[in-house]
């Protein structure tokens, strides 16, 4: 298994797909990375030589923000929003959707499992 920036990329997949296992590398940047390094994107990751892996690592270090550095940058951006107490920061703090989605229904991923509130709604209230 080739190792790039501390991450094992899968052997049995094409290089262009294997590169997307790195945090911050999507399909488009993986194609660009293969092109810059002069590597066939359809070549399996296990067929890469050490010099090709070294070229990929050098280009990633030079041109891309990936893995730990990107995770740190995202965490700093969120903490900055929390610290200045802007609307988006408050939504992050409360664990609610940040980008304007509705919360009356849905939003279960951010809000977590349902918690039933006793006596909130019932037939007695309607009469």
Per-residue pLDDT, 123: 64
Expressed in angstroms, the distance from the first to the final Cα of the chain is: 68
Going by C-alpha positions, the residue among 80, 30, 18 that lies closest to residue 59 is 30
What is the 3 state secondary structure string of 33-70? HHHHHCCCCCCEHHHCCHHHHHHHHHHHHHHCCCHHHH
| Digit-coded pLDDT (tens) for 1-47 | 788 888 888 889 999 999 999 999 999 999 999 999 999 999 998 89
- Phi and psi at 7, nearest 5°, equal -120, 130
pLDDT exceeds cutoff 80 at 121: no
pTM, full prediction = 0.76
pLDDT exceeds cutoff 70 at 127: no
Confidence class for position 119, pLDDT limits 50, 70, 90: confident
Per-residue pLDDT, 126: 58
C-alpha atoms less than 13 angstroms from C-alpha of 49 in its C-beta half-sphere: 6
Per-residue pLDDT, 36: 92
């Amino acid at each position: 298994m080739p190792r790039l920036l501390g991450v094992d990329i899968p052997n049995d997949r094409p290089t262009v797909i294997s590169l997307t296992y790195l945090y911050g590398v999507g399909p488009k940047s993986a194609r660009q990375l293969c092109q810059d390094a002069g590597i066939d994107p359809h070549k399996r990751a296990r067929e890469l030589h050490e010099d090709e892996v070294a070229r990929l690592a050098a280009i990633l270090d030079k041109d891309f923000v990936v893995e730990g550095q990107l995770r740190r940058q995202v965490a700093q951006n969120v903490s900055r929003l929390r610290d200045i107490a802007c609307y988006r920061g408050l939504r992050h703090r409360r664990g609610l959707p940040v980008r304007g989605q509705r919360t009356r229904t849905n939003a279960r991923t951010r809000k977590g499992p349902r918690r039933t509130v006793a006596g909130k709604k019932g037939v007695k209230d309607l009469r």
